[in-house]
Structures are given as structure tokens and as C-alpha cells.
Amino acid sequence: MPLNKEQNDEVEQLRASSNTTLRATVPSLEEILYKPLPALDHGFVRVIDYMGDDTAIVQSARVSYGKGTKKISNDKGLIKYLMRHWHSTPFEMCEIKLHVKLPIFIARQWIRHRTANVNEYSARYSILDKEFYIPSVENLASQSQINKQGRAENLSPEEAKKVIELLKSDAEQTYRNYEVMLNENSDGETLDESSMGIARELARMNLTLNTYTQWYWKIDLNNLLHFLALRADAHAQYEIRVYADIILDIVKKWVPVTYEAFEDYRVGGTQLSAKEILILKKIIKGETVDPDAEGISKREWGELQKKFDL
């Protein structure tokens, strides 16, 4: 259930209303405003509000009076220049506020990006929904022996089935105990009239990390792009990457020129160290390169070879 009844009613009410404004709006983003975009099995991302567009970035860079001060082609060229040369403050002029529903273990990874304003659903005051993230079979894998933070080969169907059964039974059992400790279920019904139940702030400690939480997350475009460069990367954990990909599509609708520059210079580009540049210069000149003599580690050499298919 992506949205509960109260949230769904709120969405319908908000989308049924309209306001006249003189500020910049983006039609393609207005189309999805407040709508939940599904993520994983019970999660979603939805745009609550935003400020600015591609023009706002250009305006702040030029400190101009408004649209039309330069040609569109010049605006595009300026945004590409800003992105290419890592000028950050013009992109900070745009902000977006998202409502995100996600598993707690992904939320704890996500919150490491300390560049946003966050307000999370409080299990001190409210009862968390009985919803848990259960991975699909194809997303269950063994621990990588090379990367301590990554996955290796997928589990066999039999192993995956066992893991899924364990995840389901553990989550359901702990949630049952959660309700017993509260003496209340998620619908607000009392379970035992003779029992008081412990405080919600204490009962929540029993829940599994695949339980879903929700938050409002407001961030400027510059920091959002940094978040996406890391979390939409192929090396990022699958579950958080699902959310990053959804947000990437939102950015594409919101600031298409900036999105194009981001894809070109950040996602599709690469960074080089001083030693890597020297090695590439030698390769271009046709000189033989000895990684040890160049003072580059085997891992760095392997990464350089991968970058340029050497």
C-alpha cells in the first residue's frame, strides 16, 4: 500500500486545487506533483514542492533580471560550463522537497548525506505500518570476498527461498511482539483492556530494519546531484539505487538542461589523478608504460585500464 487513506485523500485534494503564481514553474514536474512514484515493494518517492528551474541557475550565475536576457543556446552553454568546471553555488539556487517511503536500513544509509533538511515519521508518537521490504529472488546474493560492502553471486533458488522465509517470519514475529508490547495495533485498536502497554518510543526498538519508515527530504540541486552521483552509480547498493533512479528521472523533468550536463560531465565523465594524466600522455605518444616505475598501485592501474579500455 504505497499511500494510506489519509495520504491518498490529501493527494487528491492537493491535485484538485490550483494556485496562480508569478514564480517559475515546470509543466512536466507539475504533472507528477504529489503523485507517489513506486519504489521496491511498498516504497515510493513523490515531489511535494520545488523552487527554481534551469533559468534560475543561469540567472544566479549572471545575476540577471529574468528570462530572455540571453539566448537559450547561451544558457545551455553556461550551465555546461558551470557543471564542467565544478561551479556549485548557481545550482544551489534550486531546491526540491520529496516525500520518501523507504526501509529503515536504507534510510540509515541515506541519512549519511548530511546536506538536506529531514523530518522523519516518528515512531515515538505513531505506530509504524505493518510493511516490510522483502527482496526478490534475483536481488539476493552472497557476500563479496573482494568488496566488504558489496554483493557477489546470486543465491541458488533454494537458498533464496530460505532467506525470504526467514525475513518474512522474523519481520512478522517482531511486529506481532511490537503490537503486544504496545497493547495496540496499527488501526488504534486496544488488544487487551487489562494491559496498559509500554511507551511507543520503547516498543519500536523491537522492529526489524526492513520495516518501512517515511520522511520529508528537502535539498538543493547541487547537493542532490552529489547524492545521485554516488547513489545512482552501478556500485551503489541496489535498494538505494532504485530510489536514486526515480529521483534522477524527476531531475530530468525538473531541470532538463542541467540533467544533460550532469549525465555528460559527472555520470558519463571521469576524474584523473596527476599520475594518471602523465601515464595517458605517454600512452598517446606511443611510449611504454611501467606502472611500478610510474608509482601507481596495481589497483589504480587496473582502474585506469578499465576507464579507457586499455
List the chain domain ranges: 1-133+210-269, 135-208, 274-308
Position 128: which residue type? L
Angstrom distance (rounded) from CA 250 to CA 138:
26
Which residues lie across from 200 on neighbouring strands?
Answer: none
Which value, in Å, is the radius of gyration of the alpha carbons in the chain?
A: 24
Q: CATH top-level class for 1-133+210-269?
A: alpha beta
Is residue 74 helix, strand or coil?
A: helix
Going residue by residue through the chain (310 aa), what tens digit of pLDDT does each one get?
567 777 777 777 877 787 788 888 999 999 999 999 999 999 999 999 999 999 999 999 888 655 555 565 688 999 999 999 999 999 999 999 999 999 999 999 999 999 999 999 998 888 999 999 999 888 886 544 555 555 556 778 888 889 899 999 999 999 999 999 988 887 778 877 777 788 889 999 999 999 999 999 999 999 999 999 999 998 899 999 999 999 999 999 999 999 999 999 998 888 888 988 999 998 999 888 888 888 888 888 888 888 888 8
Give pLDDT, residue 66.
56
> Active-site residue numbers?
231
The size of the chain, in residues, is: 310
Distances (CA, A) of 188 to 123, 125, 130, 282, 284: 14, 12, 13, 71, 70
Angstrom distance (rounded) from CA 151 to CA 139:
9
Angstrom distance (rounded) from CA 165 to CA 190:
29
Residues 10-52 have pLDDT tens digits of: 777 877 787 788 888 999 999 999 999 999 999 999 999 999 9
The answer, as to whether pTM is greater than 0.75, is yes
Q: Supply the DSSP symbol for 185.
A: -
Which contiguous run of DSSP H or E holds residue 118? strand 117-120
45 φ, ψ to 5°? -130, 135
Cell numbers 533580471 correspond to what residue?
Answer: 65
